[in-house]
Structure 1
Amino acid sequence: MNACETLRLQARYNAWMNARLYAVCAPIPEADRRRDLGAFFRSVHGTLNHILLVDRLWAGRLAGRAPHFEGLDQILHEDFATLRMRQAGADADLQARVEVLRDADLERRVDYLSLMTGEARSLRVGTLLTHLFHHQTHHRGQLTVLLTRLGVDFGETDLIWMEAVH
C-alpha cells in the first residue's frame, strides 16, 4: 500500500467513524451533550465542534485560503443537526480531495500562519493530511471517554471493523 492509498483508507475510516459517532450522539439529551465533562473542549458538543473547526481550517489551507477563526474552541454551530450535517460535508469533501491525490501532490508545500502562535509555518501535503487524520483520531478518543462517562455504548472504533477494509 503506497502513501496515497493509505491516506484514502484513512479518509474513508475518518468519515465512517465520524458518521458512527454522530449517530451515537444524536439520541443523547442536549443538556448531556453540552455538559462540561472536563475534556479539552469540555463537552461532547465542544469536542465535535473542535473536530469540524480543525477540518475546515486545514481544508482552507489546502485550498490556499486562510480561514479565520477566533480560536480552536470557537463554536461554529450551536445546533447539533447542523454540526452533524457540516461534518458529513467536510468528510465528503476531504475524501474527494484525497481520492485524486498522486504521489507528487504529497510533496507540495502548504504555507500558513499558526492559529496558536501566529507564526508562519509550512508543511508538505502528505504530512498535513497525516496530521489531520491523527488529530481526528485523538479527539474521537477523547469523545469516547466522554460517551463512557455518560453511559453511552459507542461500539467498536478500530479501523479493522470498517466494512470497506474487508
Structure 2
Amino acid sequence: MDRYNHICLRATYNEWMNAKIYNAMIYELADEIIAGQNDQFDEVIKMLNHLIVVDTLWLKRFAIHPANYTALESVLSLPTPENLEQIVSTNIQELAEFRQYLDKIICEWAHAISRIDLDHQLCYKNTQGVITNHKFFSLIMYFFNYQTFIREKILALLLEVDIDVGATELVVPMPSGINI
C-alpha cells in the first residue's frame, strides 16, 4: 500500500474507532456519565478533550501547507487551544458532535492530499513557540499514531468498568468496506 492510500485508510480507521468509543460512552453509559458516578469517566472525558485539542492544533498546522486544502478551511476559524489540557466540553454529546465534525474534515482532507504533497517540509510553531519543520508525511503519521495512542488509554479505562467497544484492530474490515 502506498503512502497516500495508507493515509486514507488511517483517516477512515480513525473515524470508525472514534465513533465506536463515543457510541459506547453515549449509549451504554449515559446514566452513569450524566450522574458523574465514576472517576474513570472523568478521566475519559479529559482524554477525549485532549484528543480534540491536539487534533485541532495539528489540523491548523496542516492547513498552512502550500496545497491550501479546502477541507481544512473551516479549521482555521476555530479558536486555537490555549493548552493541551484545555476542556472543550464536559458534555459527551457535544464532544461527540465536535469529534464527528473533525473526523469528517480529516477524511475529506486525507483524500485531498496529493502524493507530491507528502514530501514537503512543513514549517510550523510547536506548542512552546519553537519554529520547527518536518516532512509532511512524517507529521501525518505522527498525527494518526498519537490518536491511536490516546484511544488505547481510553479503551483501557473503559475496560476497567467492563465496557468493551468490540474489535479495534486495523485489520478488521471497517463498515466503509476499506480493507488492507
Distance 1:34 1:67, change over 3 A: farther
**Are 2:90 and 1:87 equivalent residues in the alignment?**
no
Q: Out of 103, 118, 121, which is 2:115 matched to? A: 103
Q: Out of 133, 143, 149, which is 1:138 matched to? A: 149
User: Structure 1 counterpart of 2:53, which letter?
Assistant: L
| Deviation by residue 1:25-77 (Cα, 9 ceiling, x = unmatched) | 1132226878444xxxx611111111111111111111125963221110012
Give the equivalent residue in structure 2 for 1:12. 12
Distance 1:124 1:34, change over 3 A: farther
Does structure 1 conserve the Cα–Cα contact (< 8 Å) formed by 2:54 and 2:84?
Answer: yes
Give the TM-score normalised by the residue count of structure 2. 0.81
Cα-Cα RMSD: 2.2
Give the equivalent residue in structure 2 for 1:75. 87
| Deviation by residue 1:135-161 (Cα, 9 ceiling, x = unmatched) | 010001000111011121221100122
Give the equivalent residue in structure 2 for 1:165. 178
Distance 1:128 1:33, change over 3 A: farther
> Structure 2, unaligned stretches of length 5 or more?
65-75
> Structure 1, unaligned stretches of length 5 or more?
none
| Deviation by residue 1:111-152 (Cα, 9 ceiling, x = unmatched) | 22211x331111222111101100010001000111011121
Does structure 2 conserve the Cα–Cα contact (< 8 Å) formed by 1:49 and 1:75?
Answer: yes
Q: Out of 25, 33, 48, which is 1:30 matched to? A: 33
% of aligned pairs identical?
Answer: 27
Give the match's secondary structure for 2:171. Answer: helix
